[in-house]
Structure 1
Amino acid sequence: MLKQRIQDEMKAAMKGGDKPRLATIRLIMAAIKQREVDERIELNDEQVLAVLDKMVKQRRDSIAQYEQAGRTELAEQEHYEISVLQDYLPEALSEEEIASMVAKAIANSGAESIRDMGKVMGQLKPKVQGRADMGAVSTLVKQQLNG
Structure 2
Amino acid sequence: MSMLDRLNEDMKTAMRNKEKERLSVIRMLKSSLQNEGYKVGRSDLTEDEELTVLSRELKQRKDSYAEFKSAGRDDLSDKLQDEIALIETYMPRQLTEEELEVIVIETINETNASSKADMGKVMSSIMPKVKGKADGARINKMVLQHLS
Query: What TM-score do you get using the length of structure 1 for normalisation?
Result: 0.91
Query: Which sections of structure 1, spanning at least 5 residues, go unmatched?
Result: none
Shift of 1:11: 1.8
The Cα offsets for residues 17-60 of structure 1, whole Å up to 9 and x where unpaired, read as 11111100011011111211122133111111111111111111
> 1:78 pairs with 52, 77, 80, which one?
80
Distance 2:93 2:10 in 1: 19
Partner of 2:38: 37
CA RMSD of aligned residues (A): 1.4
Shift of 1:10: 1.3
Partner of 2:116: 114
Distance 2:131 2:8 in 1: 22
Shift of 1:16: 2.0
Asked whether the equivalents of residues 13 and 19 of structure 1 are also in contact (C-alpha less than 8 Å), the reply is: yes
Distance 2:99 2:63 in 1: 24
Query: Which sections of structure 2, spanning at least 5 residues, go unmatched?
Result: none
Partner of 2:89: 87
Kindly, what percent of the aligned residue pairs are identical? 35
The Cα offsets for residues 88-134 of structure 1, whole Å up to 9 and x where unpaired, read as 11111111111111001111111222232233223321222211111
Shift of 1:73: 0.8
Partner of 2:6: 5
Shift of 1:144: 1.6
Q: Structure 1 stretches (4+) deviating beyond 6 angstroms?
A: none
Partner of 2:142: 140
Matched, 1:18 2:35: no
What amino acid does structure 2 have at the position aligned with 1:104? Answer: E
Partner of 1:129: 131
